[in-house]
Amino acid sequence: MKNKLNLTMLTDFYEITMANGYFETGMADNIAYFDMFFRRVPDGGGYAIMAGVEQVIEYLKNLTFTDEDIEYLRAKNYFCEEFLEYLKNFEFSCDVWAVPEGTPIFPHEPILTVRGPVIQAQFVETMILLTINHQSLIATKASRIVRSAMGRPVMEFGTRRAHNSDAAIYGARAAYIGGCAATACTIAERDYGIKSAGTMAHSWVQMFDDEYTAFKKYAEIYPENCILLVDTYNVLKSGVPNAIRVFKEMNPPKMGIRIDSGDVAYLTKKARKMLDDAGLEDCQIVVSNSLDEYIIRDVIMEGACIDSFGVGERLITAKSEPVFGGVYKLVALESDGVVVPKIKISENVEKITNPGFKNLFRLYDKDTGKARGDVITLAQETVPEQDEYEIFDPNAVWKRTTVKNYTVRNLHVQLFDKGKCVYESPSIDEIKEYCKQQLETLWGETLRFENPQTYYVDLSQKLWEMKNNLLSGHSKK
């Protein structure tokens, strides 16, 4: 979907003040490297899902300052005229690498890297974080919910609960990547080809003199998708009996009931028996109403008779933990072609950054195809497929791991080369299928909801030594 608005000025104001500062100090063209990474998986999970890359690409391809933008900035009286002239003629010229959408990602990995003039590489921080953080959050939540449904389709029903229109549209996109089968967001089908789904609201039933008439009229209009909402008045006393009566009279090709309130485990078991006793074994039961992965898991364990789920507010807002927490940090500068690593130090160990221009590899077990772990290397390094390979825990001097019998995959793809887009985004269906395949490479211990096994993300020996040398050097100052 093409941007309908010029989003260049959707940025934190300090990105512009820093850009002006770089310009006035003669640092504008200094080459800098920035990494995006996150420190913790939401909901205490074992993995996250990368999403939003296509929208980052569209943003970077359309970076341009309008005359209105320049006049607004001039009126602030913060910025020199030479800087404003630079913005007027702005052309993006950075290199960008990222992990493809749909890839399982883990804390502290460089999931996106920008290299280029610092005035540009710094400026794009806000939109990169906004885009990747939001879609990765929703894709991750969707993946958890879909897995809890144990093969039953999950429909994203959260449009009306999203925080604004973009959150609804891009949330539907991310939820589909994470495994949802359809969305209630109609525009998401128009723009992305994601199947839209939905039937009726309670108001449809209330508009008619009685529930039976409401159901019959709907079945007459939509026999190919006759899903009737049975909880407007009383699910078991009137809703299901009236639905059964209409189904027996009309015999629509596709029939189902939806329950949107009450004890769904109890109600669906009772409804299933009523439908089966009426000879309607093919009638589907759809359940909605404030569901999440834990409720879905529990009602299935209780024996609920459910064929598919509609999940709304707790998915589209990632209600249980609505912040992804990705950050964008300077990791290196370039001087006369030499990359000079930079590190951020903190008393909080998890906030210490991994320095330098880096690459990211995933190691798979040759026998099982399962992911053994990831290794972050310096950019010029490769991970050879040899008898064994030693990797280093980023936070423990003493902990080293020797990996054997493995294959290697480079997780980074290049998006931009000197400002020119060199990457063609896959279709949404290709991304979704790729995500499904990649999740199958993770061990069950990593996928579980509570206390998942920590996935190994280690450093190459050269990167580990660089990091520790920088830490030692700073400790002596």
Output the pLDDT for position 340. 97
- Which residues on adjacent β-strands are paired with residue 285? 257
Where does residue 243 rank: exposed (0-12), middle (13-18), buried (19+ CB within 10 A)? buried
User: What are the DSSP calls for 432-452, one per residue?
Assistant: HHHHHHHHTTS-HHHH-SSSP
Q: Give the list of residues 6+ apart from residue 354 with CB closer than 8 angstroms, or none.
A: 35, 37, 108, 110, 331, 376, 394, 459, 463, 467
* Residue 128: band (very low, low, confident or very high) from pLDDT cuts 50, 70, 90: very high
Residues 339-380: tens digit of each pLDDT = 999 999 988 888 999 999 999 999 999 999 999 999 999 999
The H-assigned helical ranges of 317-368 are none
Helix (H) or strand (E) run with residue 345 in it: none
- In the predicted structure, residue 186 carries a pLDDT above the cut 90: yes
The Cα–Cα gap between 256 and 237 comes to: 17
Residues 242-252: tens digit of each pLDDT = 999 999 999 99
Q: Give the list of residues 6+ apart from residue 249 with CB closer than 8 angstroms, or none.
A: 216
Output the pLDDT for position 392. 79
- Which residues on adjacent β-strands are paired with residue 341? 332
Output the pLDDT for position 397. 55
The Cα–Cα gap between 146 and 296 comes to: 9
The Cα–Cα gap between 361 and 389 comes to: 12
DSSP code at position 29: T
Output the pLDDT for position 475. 58
Average pLDDT over residues 261-282: 98
What global pTM score does this model have? 0.95
The Cα–Cα gap between 172 and 437 comes to: 20
Output the pLDDT for position 185. 97
- Residue where the block lists tokens 């807002």: 317
Per-residue CA distances from 161 to 43, 264, 311, 316 (Å): 20, 22, 11, 7
* Residue 476: band (very low, low, confident or very high) from pLDDT cuts 50, 70, 90: low
At 332, list the tokens.
């290196």
Domains of the chain: 13-138+322-475 (3.20.140.10), 199-306 (3.20.20.70)
Pairing, β 308-311 against β 413-417 = unpaired
> Which residue in 14, 16, 13 sits closest to 80, CA to CA?
16
158: Cα within 13 Å, side-chain hemisphere: 34
* Residue 4: band (very low, low, confident or very high) from pLDDT cuts 50, 70, 90: low
Output the pLDDT for position 396. 60
* Residue 1: band (very low, low, confident or very high) from pLDDT cuts 50, 70, 90: very low
- In the predicted structure, residue 458 carries a pLDDT above the cut 50: yes
Cβ pair 147, 293 in contact under 8 A: yes
Strand order in the sheet with 338-341: 338-341, 327-335, 31-37, 112-117, 95-98, 413-417, 420-421
Average pLDDT over residues 184-212: 96
DSSP code at position 235: I
Residues 62-121: tens digit of each pLDDT = 999 999 999 999 999 999 999 999 999 999 999 999 999 999 999 999 999 999 999 999
CA quadruple 182, 183, 184, 186: dihedral, nearest 10: -100
Nearest-10 crossing angle of helices 13-24, 81-88: 110
Where does residue 225 rank: exposed (0-12), middle (13-18), buried (19+ CB within 10 A)? middle
Total number of residues shown for the chain: 477
> Which residue in 363, 317, 356, 350 sits closest to 333, CA to CA?
356
- Residue where the block lists tokens 């887009």: 421
Per-residue CA distances from 431 to 362, 396, 454 (Å): 18, 36, 25
Residues 302-351: tens digit of each pLDDT = 999 999 999 999 999 999 999 999 999 999 999 999 999 999 998 888 89
> Which residue in 25, 15, 14, 121 sits closest to 82, CA to CA?
25
Average pLDDT over residues 207-211: 98
- In the predicted structure, residue 2 carries a pLDDT above the cut 50: no
> Which residue in 400, 381, 393 sits closest to 455, CA to CA?
393
